[in-house]
Amino acid sequence: MKLILACGDVMRKALVAGALVLAAHSPAALAVNEDAAEELAKAGKCFRCHSVDKAKKAPSYKRIAQKYKGKADAEAALIKHLSAKLSVKVEDGGDEDHEPPPAKNAADLKNLVQWILSRG
Ligand code: HEC
């Protein structure tokens, strides 16, 4: 009887530990805040040139995500791209300014970058 109880306790502990491991690795724990990302993209007028899945004046976020798929430095590269004012060549051939989005902090910008990278 004592043995069975002890066993049950070990099992319960194992289950709890397993559930915690699952929770830490579930998509929810890594989830991007989609609303915040889209709001920031709207505020930064990103959709003037980018669409999520269609080419406009600029490549779609889907294409950008595909270009960076499997690249370990993707997040850092995009954070860098979005941290300074740049000049980019748009589809119709002209040069236009690429302004950083009005992110409140680094976490906000990272969330937007992760959202873009998860469109592919
Ligand atoms: C004036 C048009 C325009 C606006 C507005 C614009 N972009 Fe872009 N963006 C481009 C073009 C064109 C490119 C592709 C050229 C390049 O990568 O140099 C690009 C490239 C990118 C890339 C990919 C960079 C890479 O390394 O491949 C990301 C990410 C991006 N833009 C995000 C944004 C975000 C976020 C905003 C809003 C804050 C934004 N863009 C606003 C035109 C624009």
Question: What's the average pLDDT block by block, 10 residues per block, for the chain (120 residues)?
Answer: 60 56 52 97 98 97 98 98 97 96 98 97
Ligand 1: distance of its center to the CA of 86 in Å?
Answer: 9
State the pLDDT at residue 48.
97
Ligand 1: distance of its center to the CA of 100 in Å?
Answer: 9
Ligand 1 atom nearest residue 67's Cα: 27
Q: Looking at ligand 1, which residue's alpha carbon is closest to its atom 23?
A: 64
Rg of the chain, C-alpha, whole Å: 21
Q: What is the pTM of this model?
A: 0.82
Which residues, 6 or more positions from 101, have their beta carbon under 8 angstroms from its beta carbon? 40, 41, 43, 44, 46, 82, 109, 112
Whole-angstrom Cα distance, residue 12 to residue 45? 52
State the pLDDT at residue 93.
93
State the pLDDT at residue 3.
59
Cα 2 vs. chain centroid, distance in angstroms?
Answer: 50
